[in-house]
Structure 1
């Protein structure tokens, strides 16, 4: 896949329909057709942005586009989640491989790392403040409020933390063990690897097993341990 010039819309990385079709090895009309057939699954602002009128004119004016978009009245820009739905509709190896590369090389903007880092710093400050407070009734009440806030922030952080590198290796090892347990023929193992990876993404609603939440690690390992392909070749 050739390097893509980053396009951002409302703080999110996006791709035009033409760019997405080229990446997935298909045609723009097929992307549009899949969208029309499954329109109820797509949410504007989450899966795509539809630009028209003055917003579209400003967007075109700020970028160099090919002539095929010159007379476009509505321009669709696809977010990472929108690209995932299109990959699921196409369900081809090329589309899934291209989607993985887009996530790793284009869409990935870890915007949530900054607020999490600030939250963690705030937790440290709050804990230090709570420990230094004197033991009085008024201050005890303040300590209670602070510790409640610490709990809420800790819970928020826990909700966003994904697997560490060591935990990712545990998942990889579990996947490999399961595939080798099910299939001795190397010719068919790659198919099982792709199928299991795909079903893990669907089961946990992630773009890659690396994005599984740490709190769901045991559930993921249990799922892998008990997984069987829908149809064993």
Structure 2
């Protein structure tokens, strides 16, 4: 096992993760997480522990997101202290060596050359692009997009009911039933319980959905019957 796999650089600090510690020492990750949570929740020295651990997340092979912790050398020492046995001691020594190497590397860092700066910036953009994609995959609609979607939805309702002055639109019962029918189709299509919870990446699909939606047959008949009646004076 190579030492550089054990420790990474994050925010200019040598750290490891609860996930990596669990993997290296053959522990269940949930047990390592519990040990860290117990430290953080203990009244004694809790402020000191909080400087040793920072919460983060990781994705499993199926793309599901789970919590983990980043920890510095002190945090690792606290967690690994209870791991016993010759094999555990061997891994502790490897970790200590890895922390030493990474911290030495951080201390000796020289100003980057221009090609190195360009390379670092390029990597930063790649990371930013990945972060933006991740946000779009998970985040609900921001205010401007939610407003745009609402306008599109309302315009569609007005259209299928025959305009704002139509009998069907003026009939609150028919109008409410049409809104409910649209939402029911939306929920079935996008598996969302609220319009604004729609992931940003699906916004264009949702707009296409609204544009192509029409009421079910029975409701269409009800709308036509309402509009066929003489306007109530």
Give 1 or 2 for the bigger CA radius of gyration: 2
TM-score over 0.5 (shorter chain): no
TM-score normalised by the shorter chain: which range applies? 0.3 to 0.5
Q: Using structure 2 for the length normalisation, give the TM-score.
A: 0.39
Q: Using structure 1 for the length normalisation, give the TM-score.
A: 0.39
